[in-house]
Structure 1
Amino acid sequence: MSDTSNGRKGLELEETLKEYFWQAGYFAVRGVPFRLDDEDVTDVDVWLYERPAALNRRRLIVDAKNKIKPKAAERLIWARGLQSALNVDGAIVASTDKRPSSHRLSKSVGVTLLDGDAINKLAGAAKLRVADQYSSEEYDGLFKAVDAARRSVEWRTALLGARSSLLTNFGIHSANMALRVAGFFAEQAILAAPKSDQAQVALRGFYSTSAYAAIGLDFVLADLAFQSHEDRRASLITGVRYGNTNVREALMPIRTAIGLVRQHASNGGSIAAQVERGFDEQAARVPAEIIAEYVARLSATDGLYSVARELERNAFKIDIFHFDALSAEARSLLGVFLDFHGVSREKIAHAASGSFNKTSAAAEGGSLFSEDAIRSSKGRSEGP
């Protein structure tokens, strides 16, 4: 069997595993790059995020190999090492290997093994073949095509940057990264010709990176669960503004640098005061309150997680849903992110669909443009 055939079967297995875990309730992403110092080291075949309870979050990585000559022992040890490097909660290896020795090794290293029998069952499960969804290769190809037309790599780079942050900076850092990229794709959707292919792809990027931001914020909420609403709100403001929910830790490097200027520069006191004032003014211009107020209310619900699954699923739909077809919760979250970036909700709603049916949206729970839609997510959640 050729390497090409092996490669194709491997990609099909990854897609099957992604769908299996998605239907089991996970948030699943394929092909997540692992980068160190802006250099690609490897990638994770399938990355999983789970919210099993209000206070619990789990991240897992899946290594999938569908080859005639499986090397399960090698993959088990590799996956265990990558699990440790990424500091995630578990690792799974899917291999055609069926040897008892491989199962013994999987137990000794603490990595779950899906062997050949399990893979054959998954491959034969009709419900795991979803015809209305793009595969990950097809989805990424949409962004490559836009870049090719623009003679650029900007869109693909932005998407992979947000995806990569799920591995190395998950939490408030990945949420901030995804928020920036979501703002980029929202602006690109507006700049593109209405109803054009480019506008459609930009909307997909906006949905997907907004989903990444939502699960990053959901992960942060687990650590803030026992804080009061006001304390949660303050921590989230600090996190969105400075990249750390602890205000002392967030500001320590800045205050240290300002202290060095004050101590060693000529006219250090005056210069340090100017730098400090300028920094505080610039930070204050980041409208973190918009996101913090919305997210702080959701700590006891699975609202962010449910909306993230809905948005990611919709981003991959061949016939993508537009704003008026999304749930009220999804429209609310997207509206908050758009407000954060100062992007017009109405222009986004028109960008890819060309029209917006306010009547049908209101009937489903509130218009994208209404404050009621933003408030509607309080105490509510809706599955994908």
Structure 2
Amino acid sequence: MSQQLLKGSAAEETVRNYFLSIGYFVVRGCKFKYNQFDITDIDLFIYGKSSAFGRERLNVDIKNKKTPQAIERIFWAKGLQQVLGLDGCMVATTDLRPDVREFGLEHKVKVLDGRFLTRLNKSERSHLARINEEDLVSEIEKHSLGKLGGDWRGRYESSKSRILDSLNFDGANAWLNDIDYYMSEINNHSDSAPTWRMIYISVSHLLICIDFILREHVAAEHDQRKQLLDNGFRYGSAGKSFTLKVGKMASALVGSVVTQPGLSQTLERELADQASDVKADVLAEFFSKSQVFASLFDSAKLFEGYGYQADVPLPSSLPAHAQSYLGVVADFFDRDRKKILM
């Protein structure tokens, strides 16, 4: 592409492409935040599906330097894994010393050493026909005029950060709102390609989130999955009982400080009405179908690929099952799915 990659960035793209080629879902450059403070960047977050019941989340630390300090990176990667509650971690390093690999094995850290990286750089697995992260960020910043036009880069960075610690219904609802925002922007620009990039990538993150939520409910009945999803999309991770409890507390507080008769009951009823107005049943019915939730992981990888294609496909050219994901989100937000899928 047009932008010359730095050595470290090139290494991250190479390793990312490798994991994509062997079937993982991969996100590059996730910012780990705590209370709005940027703590560090995760070079790669990889998500795998080993079986109907098994999921694997790993952080990958990549250092392509003459003095990679590989032992220190093992400590760093292991610490991040434990803080984030992930299932494993890896270190990719140019270091060739056998001791580094042995140290990693002792502490359950997989080490991709210099020999592996050299072979990988020559392999077709590391050279996929897709744009890199730097070009994607540059494209969406130019398209949205930076923070003046909705701060698309900020939205994108938040989406990547969310995948580290918000694979829950709060995260799912945030991704739904992202998708709705980008859908509202489709006709606001002469070039719709960057908008569709962000829609496809946001959909891929949403599907990974729902896949992770449903991993523990594979054996549940359809109606059980549907109820779980309905409550989650309607009330968030806290659930219905907590939301209703907060509503009662809020109305009681209002009633204690405002003398207007019936105001507290009106507030409580309004909060309940707002929750009931959410068309969560539309999403719950769709995602609870066996053929849909069984294919969430593969569909997420498909949409991720669409987002990074050099020539972004329009939704009308996508297979029917991919269009159905866009259609159900459009239905959820009362958007005309025909206009979205044209």
Deviations 1:348-378 (A, max 9, x none): 234xxxxxxxxxxxxxxxxxxxxxxxxxxxx
Residues of 2 paired with 1:306 and 1:218: CA distance? 10
TM score, norm. by length of structure 1 = 0.82
The answer to whether the Cα contact below 8 Å between 1:176 and 1:243 also exists between their aligned partners in 2 is yes
Return the TM-score normalized by structure 2.
Answer: 0.92
Post-superposition offset of 1:340:
1.0
Q: 1:55 to 1:299 in 2, by over 3 A?
A: farther
Taking the aligned partners of 1:72 and 1:345, their CA distance within structure 2 comes to: 51
**Residues 1:148 and 2:145 aligned together:** yes
Amino acid at match of 1:224: H
Aligned match of 2:67: 69
Question: Post-superposition shift, 1:261?
Answer: 5.0
Residues 125-177 of structure 1: CA distance to partner in whole angstroms, max 9, x if unpaired? Answer: 023212x3110111111111123378345211122222211012112222211
Structure 1: stretches of 5+ with no match in the other structure:
351-384
1:1-384 aligned at under 5 Å gives the runs 8-130=6-128, 132-148=129-145, 151-152=148-149, 154-192=151-189, 196-197=190-191, 199-244=192-237, 246-261=239-254, 264-267=256-259, 270-298=262-290, 302-350=294-342
The answer as to whether partners of 2:93 and 2:112 remain within 8 angstroms in 1 is: yes
Task: Quote the Cα distance in structure 2 between the aligned partners of 1:144 and 1:37.
Answer: 25
Which residue identity does 2:157 align to in structure 1? Answer: L
Asked if structure 1 preserves the Cα contact closer than 8 Å seen for 2:179 and 2:203, the reply is: yes
Give per-residue Cα distances to partners, 1:40-60, cap 9 Å, x unaligned: 221111111111111111111
CA distance in 2, matches of 1:249, 1:53: 33
CA contact 2:196–2:312 (8 Å) conserved in 1: no
Deviation at 1:245, TM superposition (A): 7.2
Specify whether residues 245 and 145 from structure 1 end up closer, same or farther in structure 2 by C-alpha distance, changes over 3 A only. Answer: same
Residue identity over aligned pairs, in percent, reads: 30
Q: Specify the SS of the correspondent of 1:216.
A: helix
Alpha-carbon contact 1:238-1:245 (below 8 Å) kept:
no
SS in 2 for 1:144: helix
CA distance in 1, matches of 2:291, 2:82: 28
Contact 1:244 1:250 in 2 (8 A): no
Q: What is the CA-CA distance between 1:325 and the residue it aligns to? A: 2.1
Q: What displacement does 1:314 show?
A: 0.7
SS in 1 for 2:26: strand
Does the 8 Å contact 1:26/1:48 carry over to 2? yes
Deviations 1:210-245 (A, max 9, x none): 111111111111122233211211111111112127
Note the residue ranges of structure 2 that are not aligned, 5 or more in a row.
none
Counterpart of 1:97, as a letter, is D
CA distance 1:41–1:269, shift in 2 (3 Å):
farther
Aligned partners of 2:161 and 2:329: how far apart in 1?
Answer: 20
Q: Indicate conservation of the 8 Å contact 1:187/1:343, yes or no.
A: no
- 1:8 deviates by 1.3
Deviation, 1:328, is 1.4
- Equivalent residue of 1:238, what SS? helix
**1:259-307 superposed Cα distances (whole Å, 9 cap, x missing partner):** 5556x44559944322211111111121111111000113785311111
Structure 2 CA distance for partners of 1:17 and 1:54, relative to 1, 3 Å = same
Q: For the structure 1 residues 188 and 80, does the alpha-carbon distance in structure 2 shift closer, same or farther, using more than 3 Å as the test?
A: same
Question: In structure 2, how many angstroms separate the alpha carbons of the residues matched to 1:85 and 1:295?
Answer: 31
8 Å contact from structure 1 (residues 57, 219) kept in 2 = yes
CA contact (8 A) 2:24 2:46 kept: yes
| In 2, Cα distance between equivalents of 1:258 and 1:108 | 56
Q: Which amino acid aligns with 2:266?
A: Q
Shift of the 122–286 alpha-carbon distance from structure 1 to 2, 3 Å rule, reads: same
Aligned residue pairs total 339
How far is 1:90 from its partner?
0.8
Opposite residue 317 of structure 1, the aligned amino acid is Q
1:190–1:341 CA distance, 2 compared to 1 (3 A): farther
Query: Closer, same or farther in 2 for the Cα pair 1:310/1:169, shift >3 Å?
Result: same
Give the stretch that moved more between structures: 271-280 or 232-241: 271-280
